[in-house]
């Protein structure tokens, strides 16, 4: 096989051919399916393993801002996403007497960064992406238990005792990642795992989330407003905050966040998992029924208008892991950085990871371990500082919705924050707008230019006449992703090894 030139450090502007590595992706959440779609477009061979029989994207709305919309424009999905979205122009914050205590504006986004903030139900967004990943490449109902890897390849073992082999393993399996647990066990045995990575995921909030049915009737006429109705209510004397978003199809996505004391964190600890069963959701739903809302509504009313199967209770863990890769295995999304959802940056960060990882793997010169390590290190090198920033922004935004005395001060400060300072905060969150290197670059329309970022620089370098770049990708996709790679890249010593690492639960 001829080896394509490495992009990093090269002065060549010829787009390289995609890697012939075969990638196993664990987890078909938002991070996993976006990565799969990028591989699809790049002509990289992959398979996804997902423990759920069907991914039900539970929860609320997702905000897709200018920091990901250029990618979706590159993929040709921006219009479809916008057609199902409402723009956020502003948000209002109330106390539980429904007195206005704060407001934020988002109406500068279009001009400053080239896109508004699009609010879209998670289920619709997920479906837009997942529908484009060929069905036969996603193995649903396939829980991955453990991994083994060596110089030649990587192997995963699934719940039904099957093994699957590849050159690269991506753990996109969420906050309680089995891939991470299995990888960390190996690294710990070698004595190279930092102590902080051994600590459990801390959490101080739990959250009840749901999306109502389509809401008919005069009472809900406020949902016809062109822009998104986005409000939060911070209770004065009880440890809860509740948030609503309206969607284009006249539904309300809602979430009720419970701020836990040290004692209640301990009580909740025994239920650790990223998602709880319906009983826990039922109990919390009863607790929050009387919570008041503007427009003459209560939380109970919204809960009654929400299909039961679309209500879930989740923990809001927060942790940034230090170790993102080891050997042939690399982590992505919540598996390596779990953020509070207050800033709406969790899924966005998983998507950013996918952009940078796909771009780095596309240009991989070989499947040698040394080349993988270089690519993974470049991936972490670009993404880690941004993940730190997003993690910190999420913590700050979480303070805006919580109710300790320090958070009251933070809210008071931000309430009187001059516009230029608020815009500065937004500029820092929205100026990272990566695009993939292997598709034609989309011109950025923001008056605030994107910050210098390696992937974007590489994308610009390869931004020949659009048709050249895309036709090179298309022809590679259809012809030269060797089927032999898909079926053969099995590391014999891995495949035949009897001693799989201990099973981890996810
Ligand atoms: C209430 C709430 C609101 C949010 N709002 C926003 C928002 O507005 N904007 C935003 O950007 N982010 C938001 N987030 C965060 C966002 O949802 C997550 O950061 C994002 O979903 C992470 O994607 P992921 O693919 O890394 O992980 P996940 O979405 O957790 O996907 C992991 C997948 O892996 C599968 N899996 C797990 N273990 C295994 C295994 N052993 N074998 C096989 N498969 C496995 C799981 O079933 C799952 O499908 C919100 C989160 C919450 C809780």
Quick one: 177 and 64 in the same domain?
yes
61 and 129 belong to one structural domain: yes
> Could you identify the atom of ligand 1 that is nearest to the CA of residue 346?
19
> Do 467 and 324 belong to one domain?
yes
54 three-class SS: coil
Q: Would residue 207 count as lying in a domain?
A: yes
Cα gap 209→303, rounded to integer Å:
9
For ligand 1, mutation pick of 29, 147, 357, 432 (most atoms within 8 Å of CB): 29
Per-residue pLDDT of the chain (506 residues; tens, 9 = 90+): 333 333 333 444 455 577 789 999 999 999 999 999 999 999 999 999 999 998 776 677 899 999 999 999 999 999 999 999 999 988 898 999 999 988 888 888 999 999 999 999 998 999 999 999 999 999 999 999 999 999 999 999 999 999 999 999 999 999 999 999 999 999 999 999 999 999 988 888 889 999 999 999 899 999 999 999 999 999 988 889 999 999 999 999 999 999 887 655 555 555 555 455 667 788 999 999 999 999 999 999 999 999 998 898 888 889 999 999 999 999 999 999 999 888 888 999 999 999 999 999 998 999 999 999 999 999 999 999 999 999 988 888 777 666 555 565 555 556 666 777 878 888 888 889 999 989 988 999 999 999 877 777 777 776 643 433 333 332 222 222 222 222 222 232 333 332 222 232 22
* Residue 111 located in a structural domain: no
The verdict on 152 and 77 lying in the same domain is yes
11: number of CA atoms within 13 Å, CB side? 0
Does 287 map to a domain?
yes
Domain that holds residue 243: 203-317
Could you tell me the distance, in angstroms and rounded to a whole number, from the CA of residue 2 to the centre of ligand 1?
Answer: 38
Say if residue 78 is in the same domain as residue 160.
Answer: yes
Residue 382 and residue 248 share a domain: no
What's the CATH number where 132 sits?
A: 3.50.50.60
Say what the pTM is: 0.85
Query: Which has the closest alpha carbon to 356: 41, 133, 38?
Result: 38
Residues 218 and 187 placed together within one structural domain of the fold: no
User: Total domain count for the chain?
Assistant: 2
What is the distance between the alpha carbons of residues 405 and 145, in angstroms, rounded to a whole number? 44
| 217 lies in the same domain as 286 | yes
**What is the 122 CA–ligand 1 centroid distance (Å)?**
10
Residue 410 lies in a domain: no
Residues 234 and 337 in one domain: no
Domain membership flag for residue 416: no
Question: Can you tell me which atom of ligand 1 is nearest the CA of 505?
Answer: 41
> Of the candidates 296, 317, 338, which is a domain's last residue?
317
Residue nearest (by alpha carbon) to ligand 1 atom 25: 31
Same domain for 179 and 324: yes
505 in a structural domain: no
Residues 241 and 222 in one domain: yes
Last residue of a domain, one of 291, 317, 343: 317
Give the tens place of pLDDT for each residue, 199-222.
988 888 889 999 999 999 899 999
Residue at 423 is within a domain: no
Same domain, 264 and 148: no
**Cα-flanking dihedrals φ and ψ of residue 36, to 5°?**
-60, -45
- Which protein residues touch ligand 1 with a CB less than 6 Å away? 26-32, 49-52, 55, 59-60, 62-63, 143-144, 172-174, 178, 207, 209, 255, 314, 333-335, 341, 344-348, 350, 506
Q: Evaluate whether residue 5 is within a structural domain.
A: no
121 alpha carbon to ligand 1 midpoint, in Å? 14
Q: Kindly report the CATH number assigned to the domain that includes residue 267.
A: 3.30.9
What does 426-469 look like in DSSP terms, one character per residue?
HHHHHS-----TTSPPPPP--SSPPPP-HHHHHHHHT--SHHHH
213: its two tokens? 């049915």
């Amino acid at each position: 096989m001829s080896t394509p030139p490495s992009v990093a450090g090269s002065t060549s502007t010829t787009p390289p051919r995609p890697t012939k590595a075969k990638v196993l992706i664990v987890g078909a959440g938002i991070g996993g399916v976006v990565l799969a779609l990028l591989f699809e477009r790049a002509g990289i061979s992959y398979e996804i393993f997902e423990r759920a029989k069907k991914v039900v994207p539970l929860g609320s709305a997702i905000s897709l801002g200018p920091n990901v919309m250029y990618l979706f424009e590159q993929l040709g999905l921006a219009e479809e996403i916008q057609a199902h979205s409402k723009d956020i122009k502003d948000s209002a914050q109330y106390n539980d007497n429904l007195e206005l205590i704060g407001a934020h504006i988002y109406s500068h986004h279009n001009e400053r960064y080239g896109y508004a903030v699009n609010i879209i139900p998670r289920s619709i967004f997920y479906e837009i992406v997942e529908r484009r990943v060929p069905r036969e490449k996603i193995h649903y109902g396939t829980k991955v238990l453990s991994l083994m890897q060596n110089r030649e390849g990587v192997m995963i073992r699934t719940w039904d005792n099957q093994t699957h082999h590849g050159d690269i393993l991506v753990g996109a399996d969420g906050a309680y990642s089995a891939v991470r647990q299995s990888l960390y066990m190996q690294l710990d045995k070698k004595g190279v795992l930092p102590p902080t990575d051994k600590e459990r995921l801390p959490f101080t909030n739990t959250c009840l989330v749901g999306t109502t049915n389509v809401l008919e009737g005069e009472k809900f006429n406020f949902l016809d407003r062109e822009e998104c109705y986005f409000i939060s209510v911070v209770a004065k004397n009880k440890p809860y905050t509740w948030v609503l978003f309206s969607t284009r199809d006249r539904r309300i996505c809602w979430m009720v966040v419970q701020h836990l004391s040290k004692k209640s964190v301990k009580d909740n600890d025994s239920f650790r998992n990223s998602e709880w069963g319906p009983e826990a959701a039922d109990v919390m739903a009863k607790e929050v029924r009387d919570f008041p809302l503007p427009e003459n509504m209560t939380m109970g009313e919204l809960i009654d208008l929400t299909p039961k199967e679309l209500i879930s209770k989740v923990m809001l863990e927060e942790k940034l892991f230090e170790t993102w890769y080891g050997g042939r295995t690399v982590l992505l999304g919540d598996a390596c950085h779990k953020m509070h959802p207050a800033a709406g940056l969790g899924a966005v960060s998983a998507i950013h990871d996918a952009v940078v990882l796909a771009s780095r793997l596309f240009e991989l010169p070989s499947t040698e371990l040394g080349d993988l390590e270089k690519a993974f290190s470049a991936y972490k090198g670009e993404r880690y500082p941004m993940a730190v920033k997003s993690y910190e922004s999420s913590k700050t935004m979480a303070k805006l919705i919580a109710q300790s005395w320090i958070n009251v001060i933070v809210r008071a400060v931000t309430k009187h924050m001059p516009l230029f300072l608020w815009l500065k905060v937004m500029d820092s969150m929205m100026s990272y707008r990566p695009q993939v290197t292997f598709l034609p670059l989309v011109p950025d329309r923001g008056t605030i230019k994107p910050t210098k970022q390696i992937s974007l620089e590489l994308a610009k370098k390869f931004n020949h006449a659009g048709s050249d770049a895309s036709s090179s990708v298309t022809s590679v996709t259809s012809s030269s992703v060797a089927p032999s790679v898909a079926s053969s890249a099995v590391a014999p010593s891995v495949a035949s090894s009897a001693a799989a690492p201990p099973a981890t639960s996810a």
